[in-house]
Every structure is written in C-alpha cells, then in structure tokens.
Amino acid sequence: MLDQLKANNRAWAKRMVSADGDFFKRLERQQAPSYLWIGCSDSRVPANEIVGLDPGELFVHRNVGNLAPPQDANYLSVLQFAIDVLKVQHVMVVGHYGCGGVSAAVDGKRRGLVDHWLHPIREVGHTHRHELDAIPEQRARLDRLCELNVLRQVRNVASDVFVQDAWARGQAIQVHGWVYSLSNGLVKDLNTTIGRPEELERLG
C-alpha cells in the first residue's frame, strides 16, 4: 500500500514540474499564502483541493471539530505565525455537515480524551439548546450545531489578541465562517465575516 503512495508522489512531483519547471524551486525560497484555513481533520475535507489552491497558497490548521480554543498552544502558534509572519489577509474557519466530532460531542457516549477536546462544542450546544431543541430531525439539528460551532470559533479567532493587535496596527484581516457539504462538495459562507473590532462587538 505504501509503495503505491510513494509511486503516486513521484508521479505528482513530475506532473507539477512538467507544468511549471520552477514550481518547487520557487516554493523552497518562500511561502506566501494569503489564507489561513482552520478546518476539521476529517479525511473527506481536503483543504487545498476544495478551494482549488496549489501548495504554497493556503496555510492550514486542522483538528477534530475545527476548533479554535483560546488555550490551545498548537492553534495559537499557527494563528500567530499566520498573522505576524505570513501576514495572511483571510482566516476561514471551515466546518462541515455530518461532522463526527460535532455528533460525538453531544451523543452522551464516553470516549476518553476526545470528550475533553470536544467540550467547547457541547457548550455551544448548551448555549443554543432552545433553538436546537426546536429542530425535530436529528440530522438537521446536528447540521445546525455544525454551523453554530463555526460561528463560535469565528468569534474566538476574531477575539484573539493576535488578531486584535493586528487590527490595531492597521493590518487588514478578515475572519470568515464557512461550512462544507460532503454531499455536494460545496462551501456555504455563513456570512459572518468579521474584519474590524466593531463588527465583533456587534455580534455580542
């Protein structure tokens, strides 16, 4: 199986070079992506492919449930590097419908460490329990929780000191909330883009 992957890799590298002889040499010198993607680890949500971007164009952070927890050193390091060093202009939090992390957060089963990791999603569910309880169909209820989780993580990113400091010094950064649909491959923009501190305050 792994031999196949290595053969795939050689074929891919060859294709890239035949399309653009300097491709890897250019990437080696510098990466200058304009976007930071914060998405779910789910294998069905491959960041670059979905938005048609080549290597070097998208800085990517993925974890189970596309979370941006304010105490997570991994996420915070990625965010700071993206903003302070790479100077990305857009941060997109990208959830997806049918997310196993989101359903595991609220199904009441014990799984161990991941229950701690998913706790923020449980909190989002609790905060919006009246809206969610009013949705009779379970799949639709979970899909709405996927959206609410993205909205919450967008607020986390926009509230972060790295983003706040960047705005204060005049650096343009927009934080977007998207949800990807496994069933048709399309991204839905939740129209929750935050590009200034005032827009964050308006969300409350």
- Here the tokens at position 149 are 């989780």
- Smallest gap from Cβ 41 to Co ion, in A, equals 7
State which residue, 33 or 39, has the beta carbon closest to Co ion: 39
161-168 helix and 138-159 helix, angle to the nearest 10 degrees: 50
Q: How many CB atoms lie within 10 A of CB 87?
A: 14
State which of positions 45-84 bind Co ion (CB under 5 A): none
Look up 107 and say whether it is catalytic. no
SS3 letters across 83-117: HHHCCCCEEEEEEECCCHHHHHHHCCCCCCHHHHH
Nearest approach in angstroms of CB 192 to Co ion is 19
Residue 96 designated active-site: yes
In this structure, how many other beta carbons lie within 10 angstroms of the beta carbon of residue 29?
A: 9
Q: What SS3 class is residue 13?
A: helix
Contact between 59 and 37 under an 8 Å Cβ cutoff? The reply is: yes
Q: Does 42 bind Co ion (CB under 5 A)?
A: yes
Nearer residue to Co ion within complex by CB, 42 or 143: 42
Active-site residue, 196 included:
no
Q: Give min distance, CB of 196 to Co ion, in A.
A: 30
**Site membership for Co ion, residue 39 (CB under 5 A):** no
Give the relative orientation of helices 73-80 and 161-168 as an angle to the nearest 10 degrees: 20
Q: Which is nearer to Co ion, 5 or 113 (CB)?
A: 113
Active site residue 146: no
Which of 40, 78 has the CB closer to Co ion? 40
Closest approach of Cβ 171 to Co ion, in Å? 30
Active site residue 99: yes
Among 40, 79, 146, 158, binds Co ion (CB under 5 A): 40
Does 99 help bind Co ion (rule: CB under 5 A)?
A: yes
Q: 194, 154 in Cβ contact below 8 A?
A: yes
Catalytic residues: 40, 42, 44, 96, 99
Q: Could you list the residues that contact Co ion (CB under 5 A)?
A: 40, 42, 99, 101
